[in-house]
Amino acid sequence: MNKPIRVVPAILTDDPEALKSMVRQAETFTDWVQFDIMDGKFVPSHSITGEHIASLKTNLRWEVHLMVQHPEDYLEGFRRAGAHRVIFHYEATASPQEVISQAKSLNMDVGLAVNPDTPIPDISPLIDGLDCVLFMSVHPGFYGSKFVPDVLDKVADFRLAYPDMEIGIDGGVKEGNIARVARSGANSICVGSAIFCQEQPRESYNRLIALANGDSSPL
């Protein structure tokens, strides 16, 4: 029996108080979240920092999605802050293999995020060293960015080529398209605004899980 598809709440904010609020909300319905970190260089927006996350007291396990230039400069700080996995962008560094090796030396799981326009063959030499690949289904940097449907074909092709790899999709996923996204071959789907910008985040999260796993009429 196939494992259920996981919905990962993605927390993106530049406001420490909003960060705290979203973490407290997430604690009521999940045990794993993703924190999105932006530097205003690789993407135009800024976000909270690792220091903000470290200051929180939470039992949540978490990964960090680094939308930053020179991701290698961030690894040690996020390991100290408590990250279990770091995901960095292929496009953000000239030496992705070095970033992977550094993360592994810090006993962190490591994933590679891939922007919509990056071809699969570009990342193929790195696959053996990765714990997951995260396909961006938006051009990254903002909550509520426009979904890029062509990425689903890329995910399906990647699943055929790498049947055992953990694959994530991130960006623009909502109740109206999550079933289609789930059919592409992803193991996990990162969702931000369709959870945290809704009136009832917990109920929205539960509906998304049900829809991703084939229940067309969730409670």
pLDDT confidence of residue 1: 42
Residue 84 has pLDDT above 70, yes or no: yes
Beta pairing partners, 61: 32
Question: For residues 151 and 169, what is the distance between their CA atoms, to the nearest angstrom?
Answer: 9
Q: What is the pLDDT of residues 32-47, one digit of tens each?
A: 999 999 999 999 989 9
Contacts of 165 (CB under 8 A, 6+ apart): 127, 130, 132, 133, 158, 159
Residue 99: its H or E element: helix 96-105
**pTM of the full structure:** 0.94
- On average, the pLDDT of the chain sits at 94
Q: Which of 4, 10, 50, 53 is nearest to 30 (CA)?
A: 10
Q: Which residues are annotated as catalytic?
A: 36, 170
Task: Find out whether 96 and 90 touch, Cβ atoms under 8 Å.
Answer: yes
Beta pairing partners, 135: 114, 169
CATH topology of domain 6-212: TIM Barrel (3.20.20)
Percent of the chain with pLDDT over 70: 95
Sequence spans of domains, the chain: 6-212
Q: Report which residue type is found at 75.
A: L
Percent of the chain with pLDDT over 90: 91
